[in-house]
Structure 1
């Protein structure tokens, strides 16, 4: 394979995190999950915020540290590819530093988590699986960069709706309620959110619930019925249908397969 993954890391609130100023001999893909990170890139200060993606190409003079001394969370993937190799991915082939905002962030974080798990495992075909996950992640980022430019007002409205959903996804939510947040019609609200994030606000709400359901099914002793009610589904059979629609399996099957499940359908 012409692309080689060197390492995959998840920096989670590391006190006094810092990397020295040096010309790196590998490429770095950074996805900031929480907080801010300060970089110096070829002599220029770069502040990366939550939801930002950075591609730092090989030979870049780079240093990094916690912004204002405050810890952060981010995924980093270090990789190499041959200097004369054309990947077909514009931001890789241009070999220039780039920073952009990630819209489909939850799915991207999920793929980083899966890549992090796989690369540290000892199972068969690990290299092939890791390369496949990395290819999907890179392709998804390239697709987001290829979207038509969105106006600042659309991005602002979509972010308001998304923030509300992240904070209240366990509650009963209707489009009319969301439309009032931005003083627009329900139809406009749905179309706007779909244009920015690729799916409707209600679908995103269900996706957030399903992510939490997957976590609770594996890491808690809650019953399926109690998880259903906790996430706002008071009809357990309906919770089963929604879970299978989004994950491709029943809650019981997911509990049995757990972290070994390939959740590519979730948040796609």
Structure 2
């Protein structure tokens, strides 16, 4: 895969037109709100948590829903012969799906976006490796495609519990009690549907909050570390760098001016 362009859109008046068809493949993931595409004159509404894959040379145009802000990642890429292993790239028509691995997919796209903006050495190679990994996760979910509504609801219950308790030490036993299932079944179900272990999801939730606080609060790195559940600031640094490629002080240095 060769990444050609990568953008992050946040707009209420976005419009894109490729009436002759784009030469590249287009992958979209909406992270907030919704937008509308017309692909080969068929309407496709894409909402938060939903991805859309448009084959190369496919005519389409898209726009924002009037007066509504939406946010999305858009990557355009060229598929190469080695990508024949991915069935989605062999389909002649567009494909869209609501993903159960939303946090994992967003994390990969966020990393690609960061690399694409920073343009450090070998960024193109890293972006393409991350995109290929992303497609592995999309295909695993596509191939399984057996997640029932009841199963999805159990996972959403677990996610809700983690959102409310991520600052604590969340265990599979606690989540098992939350959904009235055995701990081992709970852990396996969570990983199958989300693509992440319980621990990975907890860390990602903490770091997401940490990123916001580093940019917009007046708290120190140590105070933020303790607030989101890391009593050891050095451990917070290690997890933060592993998940974002940055260190917390990178965000503190350009945070907003806080009026006291």
Superposition map of 1:163-182 within 5 A = 163-166=160-163, 169-170=166-167, 178=175, 182=179
Quote the residue 2:149 is aligned against. Answer: 152
CA shift in 2, pair 1:172/1:71, >3 Å: same
1:185 to 165, 181, 184: 181
SS in 2 for 1:120: helix
Quote the residue 1:266 is aligned against. Answer: none
**Aligned pairs, how many?**
247
CA contact (8 A) 2:221 2:249 kept: no
CA contact (8 A) 1:214 1:254 kept: no
CA contact (8 A) 1:23 1:60 kept: yes
Q: What TM-score results when the alignment is normalised by the length of structure 2? A: 0.77
1:61-110 deviation digits (Å, cap 9, x = unpaired): 2121223541111100012236xx35121111234311122223223222
Q: Quick check: 1:106 aligned with 2:99? A: no
* Structure 2 unmatched ranges of 5 or more: 253-260
Quote the Cα distance in structure 2 between the aligned partners of 1:202 and 1:121. 29
Superposition map of 1:27-106 within 5 A = 27-67=25-65, 69-81=67-79, 85=81, 87=83, 88-106=85-103
CA shift in 2, pair 1:53/1:153, >3 Å: same
Q: What TM-score results when the alignment is normalised by the length of structure 1? A: 0.75
1:119 to 106, 116, 121: 116
Q: Quick check: 1:10 aligned with 2:5? A: no
SS in 1 for 2:69: coil
Q: Could you tell which deviates more after superposition, 23-32 or 64-73?
A: 64-73
Quote the Cα distance in structure 2 between the aligned partners of 1:67 and 1:163. 28
Q: Report the alpha carbon displacement of residue 139 of structure 1 after superposing the two structures with TM.
A: 2.6
Q: Could you tell which deviates more after superposition, 211-220 or 94-103?
A: 211-220
SS in 1 for 2:19: strand
CA contact (8 A) 2:37 2:60 kept: yes
CA contact (8 A) 1:207 1:246 kept: no
* Structure 1 unmatched ranges of 5 or more: 260-268
Quote the Cα distance in structure 2 between the aligned partners of 1:123 and 1:193. 35
Quote the residue 1:229 is aligned against. Answer: 226
Quote the Cα distance in structure 2 between the aligned partners of 1:102 and 1:131. 21
Q: Report the alpha carbon displacement of residue 181 of structure 1 after superposing the two structures with TM.
A: 5.7
Quote the residue 2:255 is aligned against. Answer: none
Quote the Cα distance in structure 1 between the aligned partners of 2:131 and 2:87. 16
Quote the residue 2:256 is aligned against. Answer: none
CA contact (8 A) 2:155 2:193 kept: yes
CA contact (8 A) 2:240 2:247 kept: no
Q: Report the alpha carbon displacement of residue 209 of structure 1 after superposing the two structures with TM.
A: 0.9
Quote the residue 1:263 is aligned against. Answer: none
SS in 1 for 2:224: helix
